[in-house]
């Protein structure tokens, strides 16, 4: 017997497999409705089910319980080959949901999406987002979703507010003169981040610094915001913004936080680039500053997509070489690694961090 336990995703997924053997109908039916964390058991007697059904069950198991790459592969097999509709529900996004193409026209999609929207509203999430294939856009328009950005022929990003993104753009503080942008997670804020911001501020009249605002990192958004603001208080041409759900978020770019295949990471990174271009146009931003990424695969893929897409739309990408200390390339991941060491790493950390970040970590007893 196989058993699925501890389903951690918000999702609604229904799939039925039937096989007729003589006068017996064997049914494999998995139907999990919008649960944040369930201890659900789904048992299948493998002695009664053929190889095709076992494959299907394993795909469903990967979809529900696998990591990012396993979920993506399962979606591709279950929905890509079957011409299914795909939503990718986590936080305020709808995801990992499929309707088999053979059941188009039965009203299943309307029923499921209506249920998920009602469920999310009940949880206080009134702003909902999703990606789907471009060819499915008319379906979701009819369900009340509106396009934010797309990667032609691949994916479209939607929200349930007719002017949600436009409202976000209208609230962004404007600058003047030559304007640039930086988007950073700063988990935590290091001397490498500081060098990047200094460079952009020196070369531009206004620098728009977008701080990733979702709380899915080791350091909370409030702490990261505090450390960035304290570490740059002497730079007077900075304007701070929150990314919300629109830049490097679990809604538009989940691969940034959860491992996925390179192909999926490329598509999501391209989608994020397209959203950034709309922001750049609204703010008259003509350049974006990033640090080089020699060691981190996902940020490296992201930089590559920025390098391809931004210049085509009149935005220059400035890749700044990584800052080093004692022959060590400074990165937030290196700082987190040192913080987890059992022995004291204070003498190394003080060379990687601005005084404000070091003082915070020491005061919070995170430096041994």
Structure tokens at 28: 């494999």
> What confidence score (pLDDT) does residue 296 get?
78
Averaged pLDDT for residues 190-210:
97
pLDDT, one tens digit per residue, over 87-119 is 434 568 876 556 666 666 777 777 777 777 777
pLDDT, one tens digit per residue, over 52-62 is 444 444 555 55
CA distances to 15, 24, 50, 108, 183 from 18, in Å: 10, 10, 11, 18, 50
How far apart are the C-alpha atoms of 134 and 270, rounded to whole Å?
Answer: 14
CA distances to 32, 35, 131 from 29, in Å: 10, 17, 26
pLDDT, one tens digit per residue, over 318-347 is 999 999 988 888 999 999 999 999 888 999
Averaged pLDDT of the chain:
77
197 compared with 95, residue with greater pLDDT: 197
Give the confidence band of 63 by pLDDT, cuts at 50, 70, 90. Answer: low
Q: Write the DSSP symbol of residue 312.
A: G
Q: Are strands 324-325 and 328-329 parallel, antiparallel or unpaired?
A: antiparallel
Averaged pLDDT for residues 211-238:
94
162 preceded by a cis bond (ω within 30 of 0): no
> What confidence score (pLDDT) does residue 339 get?
93
Task: Compute the half-sphere exposure of residue 285: CA atoms within 13 Å on the CB side of its CA.
Answer: 31
> What confidence score (pLDDT) does residue 132 get?
83
Closest CA to 210 of 282, 307, 129: 282
Asked whether 335 and 188 are in contact (CB, 8 A), the reply is: yes
> Quick count: other Cβ atoms within 10 Å of Cβ 66?
15
Q: Which residues are paired to 179 by β-bridges?
A: 206
Asked whether 275 and 148 are in contact (CB, 8 A), the reply is: yes
294 has pLDDT over 70 = yes
30 has pLDDT over 50 = no
């Amino acid at each position: 017997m196989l058993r699925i336990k501890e389903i951690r995703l918000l999702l609604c997924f229904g799939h039925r497999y039937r096989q007729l053997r003589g006068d017996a109908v064997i049914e494999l039916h998995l139907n999990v409705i919008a649960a944040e964390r369930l201890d659900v058991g789904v048992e299948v007697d493998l002695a009664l089910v053929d190889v095709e059904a076992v494959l299907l069950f394993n795909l469903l198991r990967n979809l529900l319980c696998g990591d990012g790459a396993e979920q993506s592969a399962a979606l591709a097999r279950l929905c890509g080959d079957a011409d299914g509709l795909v939503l990718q529900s986590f936080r305020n996004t709808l995801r990992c949901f499929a309707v088999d193409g053979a059941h188009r026209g039965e009203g299943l999609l309307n029923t499921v999406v209506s249920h998920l929207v009602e469920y999310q509203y009940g949880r206080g999430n009134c702003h909902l987002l999703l990606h789907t294939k471009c060819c499915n856009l008319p379906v979701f328009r009819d369900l009340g979703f509106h396009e934010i950005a797309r990667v032609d022929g691949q994916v479209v990003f939607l929200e349930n507010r007719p002017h949600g993104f436009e409202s976000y753009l209208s609230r962004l503080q404007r600058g003047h003169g030559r304007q640039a942008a930086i988007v950073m997670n700063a988990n935590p804020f290091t001397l490498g981040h500081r060098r990047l911001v200094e460079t952009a501020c020196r070369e531009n009249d206004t620098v728009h610094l977008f701080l990733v605002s979702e709380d899915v990192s080791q350091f909370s958004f409030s702490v990261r915001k505090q450390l960035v603001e304290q570490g740059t208080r002497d730079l007077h041409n900075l304007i701070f913004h929150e990314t919300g759900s629109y830049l490097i978020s679990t809604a538009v770019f989940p691969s940034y936080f959860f491992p996925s295949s390179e192909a999926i990471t490329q598509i999501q990174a391209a989608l994020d680039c397209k959203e950034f271009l709309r922001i750049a146009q609204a703010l008259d931003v003509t350049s974006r500053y990033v640090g080089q990424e020699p060691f981190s695969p996902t940020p490296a893929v992201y930089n590559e997509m920025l390098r391809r897409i931004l210049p085509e739309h009149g935005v220059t990408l400035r890749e700044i070489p990584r800052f080093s200390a004692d022959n060590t390339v400074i990165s937030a991941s290196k700082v987190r690694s040192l913080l987890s060491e059992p022995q004291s790493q204070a003498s190394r950390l003080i060379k990687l961090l601005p005084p404000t970040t070091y003082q915070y970590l020491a005061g919070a007893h995170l430096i041994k």
